C-alpha cells in the first residue's frame, strides 16, 4: 500500500505541528514513556528467567558445573545439550550435539579457557625403506602392526 501526496490519504498530517494539541501531547508522552515500558518488561522477563533457572537448579543440581549454587544460562544450555546427546541413538547426530557443546565450552567465548602448557613432541629416525616403525598412542603404547618394509 503506497501512501503519498497523490494517494487517497492526502489529509494526513505531514509533521507534528499539523496535529491537534491533545494528539500531539499524547504522542510525545508515548515517546517519552516507551523506554520505561520496555525496561519494565525486560526486568520482568529477567526476573522470570532467574526464577526458571532456580527451578532448573532444584530439578537438576548436577547442571551447576561450577558448584556455586547458582545456575547460569550457559550451564543450563550445556546441561540440556548433554541430556539431548545422551538420549540420541544416532551416532552422527550425537556427535554433532557433542561438537556444539564443545564449541560452547571451548569456543571463542567459551566458559572453559584452555592454555596449552606443554606440546608433546617425539623425534625418531627411520631407514628410508622402513615406514611407520614407531607409532605411539595417547597412552604411550607402541603399535608395531602398521610397520611397512619396502
Q: What is the mean pLDDT of residues 73-93?
A: 87
Q: Where are the domains of the chain?
A: 19-116
pLDDT in tens, 13-34: 666 666 677 777 776 666 676 7
pLDDT number for residue 11: 64
C-alpha distances out from residue 7 to 11, 14, 17, 69, 96, Å: 10, 14, 21, 63, 55
pLDDT in tens, 93-136: 989 988 888 887 777 777 666 676 777 776 777 788 887 777 77
Q: What is the mean pLDDT of the chain?
A: 75
pLDDT number for residue 1: 47
pLDDT number for residue 3: 52
pLDDT number for residue 50: 82
- At 143 the three-state DSSP class reads strand
pLDDT number for residue 37: 62
Pull the grid cell for residue 128. 628410508
Percent of the chain with pLDDT strictly greater than 90: 3
Say which residues have a Cβ less than 8 Å from residue 144's Cβ, sequence separation at least 6.
133, 134, 135
Of 35-49, 59-73, 121-135, the range with the lowest mean pLDDT is 35-49
Amino acid at each position: 500500500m503506497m501512501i503519498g501526496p497523490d494517494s487517497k490519504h492526502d489529509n494526513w498530517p505531514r509533521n507534528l505541528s499539523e496535529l491537534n494539541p491533545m494528539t500531539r501531547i499524547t504522542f510525545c508522552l508515548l515517546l517519552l514513556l516507551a523506554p520505561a515500558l520496555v525496561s519494565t518488561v525486560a526486568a520482568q522477563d529477567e526476573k522470570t528467567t532467574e526464577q526458571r533457572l532456580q527451578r532448573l537448579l532444584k530439578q537438576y543440581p548436577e547442571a551447576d558445573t561450577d558448584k556455586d549454587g547458582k545456575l547460569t544460562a550457559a550451564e543450563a544450555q550445556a546441561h540440556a545439550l548433554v541430556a539431548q546427546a545422551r538420549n540420541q541413538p544416532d551416532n552422527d547426530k550425537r556427535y554433532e550435539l557433542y561438537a556444539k557443546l564443545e564449541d560452547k565450552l571451548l569456543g571463542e567465548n567459551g566458559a572453559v579457557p584452555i592454555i596449552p602448557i606443554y606440546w608433546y613432541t617425539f623425534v625418531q629416525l627411520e631407514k628410508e625403506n622402513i615406514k611407520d616403525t614407531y607409532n605411539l598412542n595417547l597412552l604411550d603404547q607402541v603399535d608395531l602392526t602398521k610397520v611397512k618394509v619396502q
